[in-house]
Amino acid sequence: MTSSVAWLISRSGAIAPISTGVVDAAYLVRLMRASSTREIVVEFEDSCTVVSSGYAEEVARRFLRDAEPPQHLRVDRSGRVTVLVGPRDPQEPPTDYRSIENALEPRRARSHRSGRSSSL
């Protein structure tokens, strides 16, 4: 089933892997279309490949024209994408990703100044 209006990627960011012990890195890609939002968790089995939020977005892009995108994807060592959790049923309430969503909040890095002390 395909929709005439594609989903747009609104943001993405690293999260803790959901499949602990199986994957090295995970990203949450948030999609939007009109007033609807969806999240896709993209997990990577091997972080020796160059994984990033950009790569997670690239993986998610192949599902942007779907009426309902999958919820959970895994990229194996060979680069093959497997759908672990398919599209959500529109009749069901959305999955609560609040705990994952907090991982996307911007964090401020500490400033380390060599040779100077700060008295803030």
pLDDT digits (tens, 9 = 90+) for 13-44: 999 998 878 888 999 999 999 999 999 999 99
pLDDT one-digit tens code per residue, 61-89: 999 999 999 999 999 988 899 999 887 77
Span between the terminal Cα atoms of the chain, in Å: 58
DSSP 4-64: SS--EEEEEEEE--SSTTT-SEEEEEEEEETTEEEEEEEEES-TTS---HHHHHHHHHTTT
What pLDDT, on a 0 to 100 scale, did the predictor assign at position 65?
A: 95
What pLDDT, on a 0 to 100 scale, did the predictor assign at position 42?
A: 95
What pLDDT, on a 0 to 100 scale, did the predictor assign at position 24?
A: 86
pLDDT one-digit tens code per residue, 96-112: 544 444 544 444 444 44
Q: Give residues with Cβ within 8 angstroms of 99, minimum separation 6.
A: none
pTM beyond 0.75, yes or no: no
